[in-house]
Amino acid sequence: MTLRKLAVAAMAALALGLPATTAEATKVKGEVTNFDFSFQGLTGTYDRNQLQRGLQVYHEACSSCHGLQYVAFRTLSDRNGPELPPDQMRAFAEMYEVWDPVERDWRIAEGPDHFPESQFEGAPDLSLMAKARAGFSGPYGLGINQLMKGIGGSEYIASFLLGYTGEEDFQAGALFYENRAYGGWVSMAPVLFDDMVEYADGTPATEEQMALDVAAFLTWTAEPKLVERKQAGFVGVIFLSVFAVLLYLTNKQIWAPIKKAAKED
């Protein structure tokens, strides 16, 4: 079998395998709005003020049910994150209690501790929610839209929080709420309402603003090194481009005398 046939066979096998794995995993049922976030694109970065506002929304509206068990309080002071001053980070951590397995008792949280886990069995942890959910259809990792904007986890979170239609229904003795982004009925009631929080920077706390802020914050919890990865990738592309040009010029110089001699013969 020739090299060309081998390549064609490999591409065909890859194409056949995609729908059963990646494409199915990112299938979207509902309506997801393609919001613009500062961290999207090849050079996008997190907005520190937005992350701080999103942290406030999570603390006041989400933390009573949902946890962030993979996020340490000390990371709230990290560069390219919320960047809370160390004293504010410690003060914020002290608002939570964590279980100490050594003392076998609850104690005030400190910087190295992680956010508590979800308090209810049916409430998912939000640490990796932005990576677990997909807001755009199609195979993961393919397509210009996904290359520039990711798979849309932040868009899905914001769309879900804003997607309640106001319709309610009793099913099996429980109250459910219709949500456009989910594409059906959910057990979680609407949690965001205009002016339910008061932002320290004076930003109007509209329902949409809070949804975007907490979606950005949850994206950071799932990808805290997103900016660093982009910067490393950008440097890598530049290095490889320069290396390719130098390799091409070196190759031409090495073979130039031989080609010249071949022409003279």
pLDDT score of 254 more than 60: yes
Tens-digit pLDDT profile for residues 170-183: 988 899 999 999 99
**Can you tell me which residue has the tokens 């509206």?**
61
pLDDT score of 257 more than 90: no
Tens-digit pLDDT profile for residues 156-209: 999 999 999 999 999 888 999 999 999 999 999 999 999 999 999 999 999 999
DSSP, res 72 = B
* pLDDT at residue 147 in the model: 64
CATH architecture of 29-226: Orthogonal Bundle (1.10)
Q: How far is CA 180 from CA 53, 77, 161, 164, in A?
A: 25, 36, 10, 6
Copy the structure tokens of residue 6.
């081998």
pLDDT score of 152 more than 70: yes
* pLDDT at residue 37 in the model: 94
Rounded to an integer, the average pLDDT of 197-226 is: 96
pLDDT score of 140 more than 60: no
Tens-digit pLDDT profile for residues 71-90: 999 999 999 999 999 999 99
pLDDT score of 146 more than 70: no
Domain map (residue ranges) of the chain: 29-226, 227-265
Alpha carbon distance 256, 107 (integer Å): 74
Rounded to an integer, the average pLDDT of 243-263 is: 85
* pLDDT at residue 231 in the model: 86
> Taking Cα atoms as reference points, which of 244, 25, 250 lies closest to residue 131?
25
| AA letter at 55 | L
Quote the percentage of the chain above a pLDDT of 90: 59
* pLDDT at residue 11 in the model: 36
> Taking Cα atoms as reference points, which of 59, 37, 252, 262 lies closest to residue 153?
37
pLDDT band at residue 232, thresholds of 50, 70 and 90? Answer: confident
pLDDT band at residue 5, thresholds of 50, 70 and 90? Answer: very low
* pLDDT at residue 136 in the model: 74
> Taking Cα atoms as reference points, which of 104, 61, 56 lies closest to residue 76?
56
Alpha carbon distance 209, 22 (integer Å): 31
